[in-house]
């Protein structure tokens, strides 16, 4: 038995129907949540580089068509049997970690990333490039009322990646922290680092990124295309942490 707020079947999804095929908008039927599952009405879904790669070179575990999307924010529409703590109408999101077994050694220690049965939206089941998504209830995260759906969606992947890196780094307020790269991950890292009280150094390529970095909270900006950023950072006294969000670290070597 499911508890439902909206059973409207007129849902759509951006799907790839065959290997090498384009992304097309399709009408889809919402999948009723089974035991331990929850269905969301999607309000916002990010487009991560991993999603773009998945769409271009799909290798789905569940066959075609595939629906990418693992940065998802929405509203609980249906709650499956046995689900506690969630009810229709609540704001919720799901990110890269879209479910785990909950009982293996990794799960019991809180290391969900190494669960052999971990599930990823878009790979393990239909993802969030849609108006509806059905996910394991243990994959959901609550979205506070003060956060928009558009802001919340990427926190489940890019946001949590950089937040956890900073949180577990050992750096303390007042320490100097450098962020290499000001892209999808880096723009989150700069905001988090500044909010955590770090003296934040942004390292990018190009003078055009300076103001963006400063607006995001950086106290300093080093242009790796115009100077030896590694030497400049050492001249500042070095850094407790260099958080690399770029594919190349040549600017600081």
Q: Is residue 74 part of a domain?
A: yes
In three-state form (DSSP H/G/I as H, E/B as E, the rest C), the secondary structure along 224-240 is CCCCCHHHHHHHCCCCC
Per cent of the chain over pLDDT 70 is: 93
What CATH number is given to the structural domain containing 185? Answer: 3.40.50.720
Q: Is residue 201 part of a domain?
A: yes
Angle between helices 158-167 and 186-195 (to 10 degrees): 40
Chain centroid offset of residue 103 CA: 24
Average pLDDT on 183-201 reads 97
Q: Is residue 28 part of a domain?
A: yes
Q: Are residues 172 and 234 in the same domain?
A: yes
Q: Are residues 219 and 129 in the same domain?
A: no
Summarised one tens digit per residue, pLDDT across range 73-87 is: 999 999 999 999 999
Q: Is residue 211 part of a domain?
A: yes
Closest to 28 in 3D by CA, of 135, 134, 131: 131
pLDDT attached to residue 246: 85
Q: Are residues 107 and 204 in the same domain?
A: no
Summarised one tens digit per residue, pLDDT across range 159-176 is: 999 999 999 999 999 999
230 token code pair: 């590694």
Q: Are residues 133 and 63 in the same domain?
A: yes
Alpha-helical segments (H) within 143-197? 149-152, 158-167, 186-195
Q: Are residues 14 and 120 in the same domain?
A: yes
Residue 188: band (very low, low, confident or very high) from pLDDT cuts 50, 70, 90: very high
Give the residue numbers spanning the domain of 90. Answer: 3-153
- Say whether 210 sits in a helix, a strand or coil: helix
Q: Is residue 253 part of a domain?
A: no
pLDDT attached to residue 58: 73
Q: Are residues 45 and 127 in the same domain?
A: yes
Summarised one tens digit per residue, pLDDT across range 98-140 is: 999 989 999 999 888 899 999 999 989 999 999 999 999 999 9
Q: What is the pTM of this model?
A: 0.84
Q: Is residue 252 part of a domain?
A: no
Q: Is residue 129 part of a domain?
A: yes
* Dist CA 118 CA 102 (whole Å): 9
What CATH number is given to the structural domain containing 126? Answer: 3.90.180.10
Residue 249: band (very low, low, confident or very high) from pLDDT cuts 50, 70, 90: low
Pairing of strands 241-244, 176-180: parallel
Domain boundary (94, 122, 153) is at 153
Kindly tell me if the per-residue pLDDT of 6 is higher than 60.
no
Domain boundary (101, 125, 153) is at 153
Q: Are residues 117 and 217 in the same domain?
A: no
Q: Are residues 110 and 223 in the same domain?
A: no
Domain boundary (114, 129, 153) is at 153
Q: Is residue 117 part of a domain?
A: yes
Q: Name residue, tokens 């003060």.
A: 146
Please tell me the total count of domains within the chain.
Answer: 2
């Amino acid at each position: 038995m499911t508890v439902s707020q909206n059973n409207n079947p007129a849902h759509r999804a951006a799907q790839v129907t065959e290997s090498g095929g384009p992304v097309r908008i399709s009408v889809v039927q919402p999948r009723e949540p089974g035991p331990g599952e929850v269905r969301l009405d999607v309000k916002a879904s990010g487009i991560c580089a991993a999603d773009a790669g998945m769409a271009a070179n799909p290798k789905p575990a569940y066959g075609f068509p595939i629906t990418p999307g693992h940065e998802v924010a929405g509203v609980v529409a249906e709650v499956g049997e046995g689900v506690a703590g969630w009810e229709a109408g609540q704001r919720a999101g799901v990110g890269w970690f879209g479910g785990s077994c909950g009982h293996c050694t990794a799960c019991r220690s809180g290391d969900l990333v190494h669960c052999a049965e971990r599930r990823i939206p878009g790979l393990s089941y239909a993802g969030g490039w849609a108006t509806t998504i059905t996910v394991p209830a243990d994959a959901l995260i609550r979205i506070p009322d003060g956060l928009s759906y558009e802001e919340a969606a990427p926190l489940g992947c890019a946001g949590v990646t950089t937040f956890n890196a900073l949180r577990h780094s050992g750096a303390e307020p007042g320490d100097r922290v450098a962020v290499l790269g000001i892209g999808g991950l880096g723009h989150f890292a700069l905001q988090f680092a500044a909010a955590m009280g770090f003296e934040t150094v942004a390292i990018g390529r190009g003078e055009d990124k300076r103001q963006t970095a400063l607006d995001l909270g950086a106290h300093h900006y080093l242009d790796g295309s115009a100077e030896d950023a590694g030497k400049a950072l050492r001249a500042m006294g070095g850094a407790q942490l260099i958080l690399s969000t770029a594919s190349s670290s040549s600017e600081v070597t």
